[in-house]
Structure 1
Amino acid sequence: MTEMMDKLRNIALVGHGNSGKTSLSEVMLFNSGATTRIGRVEDGNTAMDFEPEELKRNISISTGFHQAVWKKTAITLLDTPGDSNFFNDTRNCMAAVDGILLLVDAVDGVKVQTEQAWNFANDFQLPCAILINKMDRERADLARTFQDVLSQLETPRPIKIQLPIGSEAGFKGVIDLITQKAYLYDGSGKASLGSIPADLEDQVAEEREHLVEALAEAEDSLLERYLEGESLSEAELLAALKTGIRNRLFAPVLCASATGNIGVDRIMDFIIEAMPSPAEKPPVTGKDPATGNPIVREPNPDAPFSAFVFKTVVDPYAGRLSIFRVVSGQLGSDGGFYNVNKEVRERFNQLLMITGKEQKPVQGAFPGSIVAVAKLKDTTTGDTICDEANKILFPFPDPLPKLITFAVTSKATGDEDKIYISLTKLLEEDPSLKLERTVETKEMLLSGRGQVHIEATIEKLKRKYNVEVNLGKPKVPYRETIKKKVRVQGKHKKQSGGHGQYGDCWIQMEPLPRGSGFEFVDAIVGGAIPKNYIPAVEKGIVEACQKGVLAGYPCVDFKVTLDDGSYHEVDSSEMAFKIAGSLAFKKAVTDAKPVLLEPILNVEVTTPDEFMGDIMGDLNSRRGRVLGMEAHGKYQIIKAQVPMAEFLTYAPDLTSMTGGRGTYSMEFSHYDEVPAQIAEKLIVELNKEREA
């Protein structure tokens, strides 16, 4: 079993969209014999991208899984999305691998998602390597791109281990700086050894000296020998490379053209020679679910079984597919385990390996195995599964913040419940979505990472569940309140033969501090209103305050004191006093200077320095109030409070202002008064909408 762990590599291909991740995985699968042809993203026939929403946009929306066996070592490839709309899936899947290969476009250099993927790798303390891809494109430049990498991606430190032979359309091979061998390609993807071109000899010697110096730092004994002038063998340098990667001292930088199949075999050699196996992964610390005490699990096949689910795929016909990484112990081809998060036992009858859009049965799993089981009843993404007698709970990252919200309405009458149920199933697949029904606006709201994220979800809703919806701008949940203390009478008197209706109450109404809600005080003395009718007065006020007098929004933050009234021995009833309370409320609000309140958001915008002025000006134009700024590396974090009404379309606007390099998060803060000049127009508009 240990030998099988040694012969396994779990590698996530990560980076900005269009950096060539899917193309690289296609060529690696072809070179290894896992597939018989090389698919093209443009043609929509790749092994990793097969969902209709992916083929329509020519991007990866969901992580693809496959396995390439190269020189008797199995490389599990995870082709992750590079678009920010789907980066939650990228981060979740990075939690399950032993190392990442970060792709950087040789023309475009480091982009915002490149940096974000690198930050995720640092969060998970993952060993990293960097591939500068598309070296055969016009304007491709290794030196410029490497400088960009050095300046943007600092830890672990990038070090060059390869140099290109030729440039742009003349790119035809790579030089290994450790072995000082030149690998030349003829278009078939197979390399032949050649001599280092004479014009590159000096550069190779210089770059190799830098590399040897960096590698020597991985081990004290090597550094000491290097400083004393001793030469280090290739085997020692390779061992130092592996140690440095595992300890995150540096990130080797390679170069290739995935679509040209130039240097791809060297990437695969590098992965099996230098990237860590599951056996070399550090122990994982979880906690005892009963006591909260830390528990450490080694990647040991003889330890109790434990794993975590990092991705869920829901099919309307095949059911739920749960994909998980085994941390410790072993699992057979069928059986059961315990879900710690849900506190339930789960059973399965087949263990599967994901290979593109297919699943293949496997006989068992061990530490490092990335496998799946179908039709678990309660297990979802983020859950820990384990041996029931040895419970452990592993941490799992919370979903990335939601950045945009749409109101979802049915195209067909009466489909609302069907929409809600179907979207709930999609939420099992994608935890970065949020679905809620609002009482105030009576809307179904769908929130996600961006407009493309929401649109792709709606397309999937139609394809999988045959449900069509419209997307609209959500309504702002305004509130109403008062600013003045008043005392009024509410009297309901009706005589229509037989028993009449009589209820009479006097109330004082006064404002409360923002966020206080509603307070009712019974100050009746001398039995002016019988005790059994007083709750009815309160109920009438509570029901009436759900619709204010300005624009029909709930009234909040006020206190009512019931201090006087009268009743009739025969005609008084709970209903009569409830109506009297309602009438008193409406009259009091009208007299007490009612005002409109709007929700205010706490906002944090993270932006490169050069966009600070634009961001600040834009926040001010949205009636925002900047609270402060703080530096975070190469970025500035602006903290502000902004009215929700002005922030509903911020996601695309921020992307436009910063070229996609700005990010933000938001959360509800409090309600505040709408400025009078804005409130006047707003109340007219809101009442027109209400009447319509």
Structure 2
Amino acid sequence: MEHSKGARAVALVGPAGAGKTSLAEALLFAAGAIQRLGAVDAGSSVGDASPQARARGGSTELNLMRFDWMGDRYTLVDAPGSPGFAPDAELAVASADLALVVIDPDPAHAPLVEPVLRRLEALGMPHALFVNKIDQARGSIEELLEALQPMSAAALVARQIPIRAGERVAGFVDLALERAYHYEPGKPSTQVPLAAHLKDDEAAARFHMLEQLADHDDTLLEQLLMDETPDLKTIFGDLARETAQGLVVPVLFGSATSGFGIRRLLKMLRHDTPDAAQTARRLGIDGPAVKVFKISHGGTIGRLALARVFGAPLAEGAELTAGDGEPMRAGALFAVQGAATAKAPRAEPGGIVGIAKADAARAGDLIGIAGKPPAAALSEPPVTNCALAIAVKDHKDEVRLSTALNRLAEEDFALNWGQDEESHDTLLRGLNDEHLAVALDRLQQRYGVAVTVRQPAVAYRETIRKPAMQRGRHKKQSGGHGQFGDVVIEIRPLGRGEGFGFEDRITGGAIPRQWIPAVEQGVRDAMAKGPLGFQVVDVAVALVDGSFHSVDSSELAFRTAGRIAMADALAAASPYLLEPMAHIAIRAPGSATSRITSTVASKRGQLLGVTPLEGWSRWDCVEALLPGAELNGLESELRSLSQGMARYEARFDHLAEVGGKLAEGIVQQVREPA
């Protein structure tokens, strides 16, 4: 019997709709962890237990499931396939020992897989491919692998070839063992004699597999050159080693819903999945630690820090050390199975567990066990491109809203929120519109907070076209001391991006020194909202004259006079509207590039260039300047143009003039009463 590698974790990743959760269900059933095979469509699977997942027919959040197989404990990390939810699961995926990329057999869908493969390569993550829905396959596995190979830096190594009965795949040949198996619906596959007409195909496919392994094993290469047959120990040893090192990507196939190829997949996972010690080295973890990958709120347990244990067992009450050196203790430990939790006495190295009362722990933290400090840095959250302005429907929910948003942001690494300094709106930020829609569903269903939603205000600005001079006088007498302030200012336009300048040109004591700062503050007050209704930028102001009253002048009077003078001067200086322009970089498959550039042009965008995306197979990077107002809804539009694959990053570039009817419409909208 092989030596046990201990508790291991396998991440299920891949495009949405490939059948990851169905495969998890099939693995649990085949391993005996569940007695009845559930179905995603029926809402009866162990994964996808949340209302949002069941309403959408697909995963919207990370799911954890565990089973025992041949004496070892496995945890499946089922990651959502939709791009809006995948980043939240990435911390858990990176903490696993192996990523199993689940795909469907249609070669036309191969481009959907490339972003997944590239991300795993960037993470240095060992991975294998499982071609699901093989009972629905119409093309050949060879065709599929030919389409996929340019998308993978490592060789895709077919571990099996199909046995066909007409157009239908009825079984497979295991190339390492040289054994043929016939699929049995709902049962383990049965071994059958290798048909004579398959022997040549099997021999050629097996030799190709060995050649791929020999690229990284000189001894095996020498054996092949000498026409020697390598033993099974060598073959299986190379498969495990080269998979763990990311040199090859094993490829198996089957059907989750029919149960085809599931036990063969379990055997591959048992043999080829690296152990937790190898994963700790990959992650740079030195010594006993827990890697927190998600925070969960819910049920009677409350807050749980979901974490992977490395280097030593973890027990309730164990001493822990956070990254800042702060000591803490582990609360009760819980094993997680889909939506269910059960108290666990301890977690072995390699195990995944929920830790209660670890209130200082955050997603991405590495926490030392037994008082030892951690040895790796924290993880950075992903960049969020989409935002919504939200407000409670009932003002009594204001405090509850803050609490609920804090919990949502803790639970989802890719969500954040805050208050916009200019508009004072509460902004919820996420990766795309689907991501935000699910967050709003959770806000209402989990926390009972109903909100209104609108697009965030665009940060328009205004400036002036010509110089102007204006007097501002504030005089008020209402018994006792009055108020008097009198100023004359000159204003002129500055270059774009130069901001604001204030110059004191007072001579002869026309205004005492102590009131000059008040005049500047009044000028700034007027610039907060100019004649068009927006913040004023790129204007120079000079205070050139004025007068004062020895009794009635005050700081307030001169501040008011400065504001009056500036407001009138701005109105006389031909104000015009500016809009923020964003520099966007869109990554998309080449097949969608022309549609994307047309969309950019239709949104008043300026195309800067299209370049091939380095290291990718037929992907492009489209760079453009786009008005900030046109970013609303851009993510969903790009997805619809590219089979859901296009992504973009945006940053502020500059302010540009808006003219004509567009500017008139924007100004009119601001001036209309709410």
Assess same fold via TM > 0.5: yes
Match of 1:584 among 540, 543, 565: 565
Give the letter for the 2:539 counterpart: F
Q: Residues 199-253 of structure 1, C-alpha deviation per residue, up to 9 Å, x if partnerless?
A: 3222112211211222222311111121122111122211121122122221111
Q: What is the distance in 2 between the residues matched to 1:269 and 1:660?
A: 33
1:511 corresponds in structure 2 to 493
Give the letter for the 1:601 counterpart: A
Give the letter for the 2:219 counterpart: S
Cα deviation for residue 453 of structure 1 reads 1.2
- The 5 A counterparts of 1:3-82 are 6-82=5-81
1:421 corresponds in structure 2 to 403
Q: What is the distance in 1 between the residues matched to 2:111 and 2:46?
A: 27
285 and 315 in structure 1: CA distance in 2 versus 1, 3 angstrom threshold:
closer
Q: What is the distance in 1 between the residues matched to 2:375 and 2:538?
A: 43
Does the alignment pair 1:150 with 2:133? no
Cα deviation for residue 366 of structure 1 reads 4.5
Match of 1:660 among 639, 644, 648: 644
Cα deviation for residue 37 of structure 1 reads 0.8
Paired positions, count = 670
Q: What is the distance in 2 between the residues matched to 1:190 and 1:474?
A: 55
Conserved? CA contact 1:134–1:140, under 8 Å: no
SS of the residue aligned with 2:350?
Answer: coil
Gaps (5+ residues) in structure 2? none
Q: What is the distance in 2 between the residues matched to 1:404 and 1:178?
A: 48
Conserved? CA contact 2:277–2:310, under 8 Å: no
1:315 corresponds in structure 2 to 298
Q: Residues 316-364 of structure 1, C-alpha deviation per residue, up to 9 Å, x if partnerless?
A: 75322111123334432322211115x5322223222222222233343
1:300 corresponds in structure 2 to none
Q: What is the distance in 2 between the residues matched to 1:120 and 1:252?
A: 17
Cα deviation for residue 24 of structure 1 reads 1.1
Q: What is the distance in 2 between the residues matched to 1:157 and 1:397?
A: 30
Match of 1:635 among 606, 619, 628: 619
Cα deviation for residue 434 of structure 1 reads 2.4
Conserved? CA contact 1:84–1:113, under 8 Å: no
2:190 corresponds in structure 1 to 192
Q: What is the distance in 2 between the residues matched to 1:201 and 1:284?
A: 40
436 and 260 in structure 1: CA distance in 2 versus 1, 3 angstrom threshold:
same
Q: What is the distance in 2 between the residues matched to 1:326 and 1:183?
A: 38
Give the letter for the 2:37 counterpart: I
Cα deviation for residue 16 of structure 1 reads 0.8
Q: Residues 560-607 of structure 1, C-alpha deviation per residue, up to 9 Å, x if partnerless?
A: 222221111222222221211111111111122211121111200112
Q: What is the distance in 1 between the residues matched to 2:652 and 2:137?
A: 48
1:164 corresponds in structure 2 to 162
SS of the residue aligned with 1:515?
Answer: coil
Moved more, 581-590 or 224-233: 224-233
Does the alignment pair 1:346 with 2:324? no
Q: What is the distance in 2 between the residues matched to 1:401 and 1:115?
A: 21
Q: What is the distance in 2 between the residues matched to 1:509 and 1:168?
A: 84
Conserved? CA contact 2:155–2:212, under 8 Å: no
543 and 41 in structure 1: CA distance in 2 versus 1, 3 angstrom threshold:
same
1:301 corresponds in structure 2 to none
- The 5 A counterparts of 1:267-286 are 267-281=265-279, 283-284=281-282, 286=284
Does the alignment pair 1:216 with 2:214? yes
SS of the residue aligned with 2:550?
Answer: coil
Give the letter for the 1:620 counterpart: A
Q: What is the distance in 2 between the residues matched to 1:440 and 1:238?
A: 62
Q: What is the distance in 2 between the residues matched to 1:605 and 1:642?
A: 12
Give the letter for the 2:229 counterpart: S
Q: What is the distance in 2 between the residues matched to 1:146 and 1:457?
A: 37
SS of the residue aligned with 1:664?
Answer: strand
Cα deviation for residue 388 of structure 1 reads 7.7
317 and 553 in structure 1: CA distance in 2 versus 1, 3 angstrom threshold:
farther
Q: What is the distance in 2 between the residues matched to 1:108 and 1:631?
A: 22
SS of the residue aligned with 2:134?
Answer: coil
Does the alignment pair 1:335 with 2:318? yes
Does the alignment pair 1:264 with 2:262? yes
2:389 corresponds in structure 1 to 407
Conserved? CA contact 2:385–2:429, under 8 Å: yes
Does the alignment pair 1:538 with 2:516? no
SS of the residue aligned with 1:415?
Answer: helix
Q: What is the distance in 2 between the residues matched to 1:134 and 1:393?
A: 42
385 and 30 in structure 1: CA distance in 2 versus 1, 3 angstrom threshold:
same
Cα deviation for residue 39 of structure 1 reads 0.6
1:489 corresponds in structure 2 to 471
Give the letter for the 2:292 counterpart: V
Moved more, 539-548 or 164-173: 164-173
Cα deviation for residue 378 of structure 1 reads 1.9
Cα deviation for residue 370 of structure 1 reads 2.0
Give the letter for the 2:511 counterpart: I
1:605 corresponds in structure 2 to 586
Conserved? CA contact 2:131–2:253, under 8 Å: yes
SS of the residue aligned with 1:477?
Answer: coil
Conserved? CA contact 2:587–2:647, under 8 Å: yes
Conserved? CA contact 2:466–2:574, under 8 Å: yes
112 and 307 in structure 1: CA distance in 2 versus 1, 3 angstrom threshold:
farther
Conserved? CA contact 2:107–2:143, under 8 Å: no
Cα deviation for residue 393 of structure 1 reads 4.3
Q: Residues 253-304 of structure 1, C-alpha deviation per residue, up to 9 Å, x if partnerless?
A: 1111111111100000111122222234462465xxxxxxxxx62xxxxxx4
Q: What is the distance in 2 between the residues matched to 1:256 and 1:385?
A: 39
The percentage of aligned residue pairs carrying the same residue is 32
Give the letter for the 1:640 counterpart: A
Q: What is the distance in 2 between the residues matched to 1:95 and 1:537?
A: 57
SS of the residue aligned with 2:187?
Answer: coil
Q: What is the distance in 2 between the residues matched to 1:109 and 1:276?
A: 32
Moved more, 175-184 or 552-561: 552-561
Cα deviation for residue 108 of structure 1 reads 6.0
Task: Using structure 1 for the length normalisation, give the TM-score.
Answer: 0.92
Moved more, 311-320 or 570-579: 311-320
2:634 corresponds in structure 1 to 650
Give the letter for the 1:626 counterpart: L
Conserved? CA contact 1:64–1:78, under 8 Å: yes
Q: What is the distance in 1 between the residues matched to 2:260 and 2:282?
A: 37
Q: What is the distance in 2 between the residues matched to 1:126 and 1:565?
A: 71
Q: What is the distance in 2 between the residues matched to 1:142 and 1:510?
A: 70
Conserved? CA contact 1:139–1:168, under 8 Å: no
Conserved? CA contact 1:529–1:565, under 8 Å: yes
Cα deviation for residue 392 of structure 1 reads 3.2
Q: Residues 464-506 of structure 1, C-alpha deviation per residue, up to 9 Å, x if partnerless?
A: 1101112222221211222322222111123344433211011
Cα deviation for residue 549 of structure 1 reads 0.8
Gaps (5+ residues) in structure 1? 287-295, 298-303
Conserved? CA contact 2:6–2:275, under 8 Å: yes
411 and 116 in structure 1: CA distance in 2 versus 1, 3 angstrom threshold:
same
1:293 corresponds in structure 2 to none
Conserved? CA contact 2:331–2:358, under 8 Å: no
SS of the residue aligned with 1:230?
Answer: coil
1:93 corresponds in structure 2 to 92
Give the letter for the 1:275 counterpart: T
Q: What is the distance in 2 between the residues matched to 1:584 and 1:620?
A: 42
Give the letter for the 1:76 counterpart: T
Q: What is the distance in 2 between the residues matched to 1:322 and 1:482?
A: 54
Q: What is the distance in 2 between the residues matched to 1:115 and 1:92?
A: 20
SS of the residue aligned with 1:100?
Answer: strand
559 and 415 in structure 1: CA distance in 2 versus 1, 3 angstrom threshold:
farther
Conserved? CA contact 1:135–1:142, under 8 Å: no
Give the letter for the 1:607 counterpart: A
Conserved? CA contact 1:29–1:35, under 8 Å: yes
